[in-house]
Structure 1
Amino acid sequence: MKRLCLIGLILAFIVSCKDDDEQIITQCEIPTNLSVSSISDVSATISWENTNDSQNVKIEYGIAGFLPGSGSIIEATQNSAIISGLNADTSYDFYVQAICATDNVSMNSVAGSFNTNSSPVNPEFLPNLSQLNLFTGNMADLTLSTNVFKYDLITPLFTDYAHKLRLIALPQGQAMEYDGEGFPIFPNGTVISKTFYYNLDETNLSLGKKIIETRVLIRVNGAWTIGNYVWNEAQTDAVLDENEHTVPISWVNEAGEAMSTNYIVPAANDCTKCHSNAGNVVAIGPKVRNMNFEVDGVNQLQKFIDAGHLTEAPSVDAMAVLPNWQDDTLPLESRSRAYFDVNCAHCHSPGGFCEIQSTLDLRFEIDFNDTKIYERRNSINNRMIAYNPGFSMPFIGTTMVHSEGYALIKAFLDTL
């Protein structure tokens, strides 16, 4: 009898163990192979692999480096999800956790990471410069949006020794089209901007800079529209403003000399005096011949071609080059003509602001005998030798003599 009882207990124990084995919970596996696609300025699609029977997951995301448990959470029932409401130009981390049951969840996956894109440039004149999305982050840093690109000029316009940050923003998927040595054909929706600033001390750039204005051209229906943004004292933004402003500015130049001037931000009607020809608003600087040179060891136009910004162009060697006005290895006449072309020809040319008042035609491509430089050489000298508002040249945009520019022109005039 005792033996039968013992056998019964053993059988009961075996059956009991078997029942316990059947109730063992399968471990919820961690999602793997995280990936990110369709990244925009405000959203991203994330994907993963989930080998569990249940496809329920929890996604936690936040600014790169956030601690799990402190981020934002969304849930999904497939192998991908869209995270929206993100900030542009921002780095994010995310984790995916499988939910096999209420009381059976996996550990977090390894961290996935992505960076959101810059916000698209807005091709319209909005109240604040920041709304155009030309810059990202702290406005005073002038950090370029990824949707704009910088351009430089081999012979630039003089504006009281101010530095200029020149930018072009093209509509997505479109490009400038080569159209000879002058201006390329810009598509509608193009934004060209030029930001004027001074380094407070050219011998110690760590002391910072003062940004004064950002001038903007926007291509609308085959024509340029023009506007000007004036920066606030805090350097946090600039406001669309049609009025003239005088801004006192002091700085130390590269020679260590103290400099100062009352910088004049032009009124809207003054902007159009220089930026107009035959009644149409025009650009001044970004002609192909004035951009055809090396910047940081690479030909600038070739860089534009390689990036898809400039199409239908021949080789850069076949494109015209405007002389560098500071290159003293070049002939004095060609350097002077280049300086005239950039600083003066927008007014002193057919259709320009001074067409009626002056016989000069200072375009670089014009034969010298047709420019009337020889006939007007004394007048040119008198208007450049000293600053006299309403008389000296350039008529708008300067409050002082460009000493180096005048020295070049004077040397050339003395040879005539």
Structure 2
Amino acid sequence: MKFLSHFLLLSMLLLLCACQRGMDPVAFQADGRPPKLSDWHVVEVRSGKLVLNEGVVPYDLNTPLFTDYAHKLRTVWMPKGTAAKYDPTDTFDFPVGTVISKTFYYPRTADGKFTDVARTYDSSKDFAGEGLDLAHVHLIETRILVHRESGWAAIPYVWKDDQSDAMLARTGAVIPLTLVDDKSEREDFNYVVPDESQCASCHAQDWVSRKIHPIGPKARHLNRDYHYATGDENELAHLMKVGYLTGAPAPAEAPRNANWADEHAPLDARVRAYLDINCGHCHNPKGAANTTGLTLDVSVPEDRHLGICKPPVAAGRGTGDHLFDIVPGQPEDSILPYRMNSTDPGTMMPELGRSTVHREGVALIKAWIAAQSGGCVAIH
């Protein structure tokens, strides 16, 4: 049995290397906007699979950002001999030359109709090694974040219908799709690929400088296990081992956000992780929503900065005529879930990145508010 396990592991590694053998080395594009995703040689389609090039490391987040139920393959690559510097709170300090990719895709439905995509959290058929099996997934877009001498640049690419490559989409795109759940319930929606300026609006964590940075690669998001081709390993430990990260402590000593969908985790921890990744990049003291007085990153204490009994800064239809962001024990009277449950451009939050309502996310926030005790007093 032990010999068989070693044989299967060796076969998998040889298959992965065979896929990589035909790929040119990853190309750091120091300027410009290459017209095709394949110009980067980070991920490419080979023999019906989206494969990762040599040195391209996949990763995932404890709690990911919601994007219309899309699944995501995240990768990072750095020039040989360079590494990111660990930070316990903020995005790691990545060297110039770093290329981060995020591929958005959906599992295919049983009927195989091209515009039908599955609304599911099941990713068991998605992967081929560390890449994706195109027999089971429909690629939508891949976003590149590249760290150049002038700073980070965000470059969006949209996959062609034949799934052979993705093409530059500086002005974004609108892709009509239909979500189909396991009960065959259907929901038509427009998947919106953001343009470059919209990418920058979310990734500009400091709204004064407007310089963009990655959002996901923080210790608290990456402190989790990943199923690499060589086996399960903590992502922070793996990045240290392959030379892509320096200065990280042992995983047990690093911060860690909860998985929002883990029902065994405390409700408060799940909600704080969900708000942190979905809202915290704007709702923080330096972010685009810093004037709202609503701070939703994981560091803020549970007080009015988190929205408890806090009146909105600006009135309007975005409030739904509710008086407070969060009313303890009363989710139906709270602005936060009201805005999350909307797809009206003048009401919905987040303002970008989704065209559908994250039903399970709204239910989580409502359960959290319902579990809170106390009340709010309106001041006229």
Once the two structures are TM-superposed, the CA of residue 280 in structure 1 deviates from its matched residue by 1.3
Gaps of 5+ in 2: 1-16, 110-117, 127-133, 311-324, 327-333, 373-380
Q: Distance in 1 between matches of 2:41 and 2:170?
A: 21
Partner of 1:295: 226
Once the two structures are TM-superposed, the CA of residue 326 in structure 1 deviates from its matched residue by 1.2
Q: Indicate the SS of the match to 2:274.
A: helix
Q: Distance in 2 between matches of 1:352 and 1:398?
A: 19
Partner of 2:320: none
Pick the structure with more strand per residue: 1
Partner of 1:159: 67
Q: Distance in 1 between matches of 2:307 and 2:287?
A: 17
Counterparts in 2 of 1:383 and 1:177: CA distance versus 1, 3 Å? same
Q: Indicate the SS of the match to 1:142.
A: strand
Q: Indicate the SS of the match to 1:273.
A: helix
Count of residue correspondences = 305
Once the two structures are TM-superposed, the CA of residue 385 in structure 1 deviates from its matched residue by 2.2
TM-score (norm 2): 0.74
Q: Indicate the SS of the match to 2:43.
A: coil
Q: Match for 2:355 among 395, 399, 411?
A: 399
Q: Indicate the SS of the match to 2:299.
A: coil
Partner of 2:27: 121
Q: Indicate the SS of the match to 1:214.
A: strand
Partner of 1:170: 78
Once the two structures are TM-superposed, the CA of residue 370 in structure 1 deviates from its matched residue by 5.3
Partner of 1:384: 340
Contact 1:123 1:191 in 2 (8 A): no
Once the two structures are TM-superposed, the CA of residue 366 in structure 1 deviates from its matched residue by 1.5
- Kindly report which structure 2 residues correspond to 1:120-199, keeping only aligned pairs within 5 A, or say none: 120-124=26-30, 125-138=33-46, 141-199=49-107
TM-score (norm 1): 0.68
Contact 1:247 1:264 in 2 (8 A): yes
Q: Match for 1:229 among 154, 157, 162?
A: 157
Once the two structures are TM-superposed, the CA of residue 251 in structure 1 deviates from its matched residue by 4.6
Counterparts in 2 of 1:118 and 1:134: CA distance versus 1, 3 Å? same
Partner of 1:18: none
Counterparts in 2 of 1:295 and 1:90: CA distance versus 1, 3 Å? closer
Q: Distance in 1 between matches of 2:39 and 2:23?
A: 16
Gaps of 5+ in 1: 1-88, 92-113
Q: Distance in 1 between matches of 2:148 and 2:364?
A: 38
**Which consecutive aligned stretches of 4+ in structure 1 deviate over 6 angstroms post-superposition?**
203-206
Q: Indicate the SS of the match to 1:368.
A: coil
Contact 1:129 1:229 in 2 (8 A): yes
Does residue 366 of structure 2 align to residue 410 of structure 1?
yes
String of CA shifts for 1:322-377, please: whole Å, max 9, x gaps: 11111122221121111000000111112212222x22000101122252321211
Counterparts in 2 of 1:139 and 1:218: CA distance versus 1, 3 Å? farther
Matched-pair identity in %: 36
Q: Indicate the SS of the match to 1:336.
A: helix
Does residue 143 of structure 2 align to residue 215 of structure 1?
yes
Which protein is bigger by CA-based radius of gyration? 1
Counterparts in 2 of 1:90 and 1:315: CA distance versus 1, 3 Å? closer
Q: Indicate the SS of the match to 1:233.
A: coil
- Kindly report which structure 2 residues correspond to 1:317-356, keeping only aligned pairs within 5 A, or say none: 317-356=252-291
Contact 1:178 1:312 in 2 (8 A): yes
Q: Distance in 2 between matches of 1:218 and 1:272?
A: 13
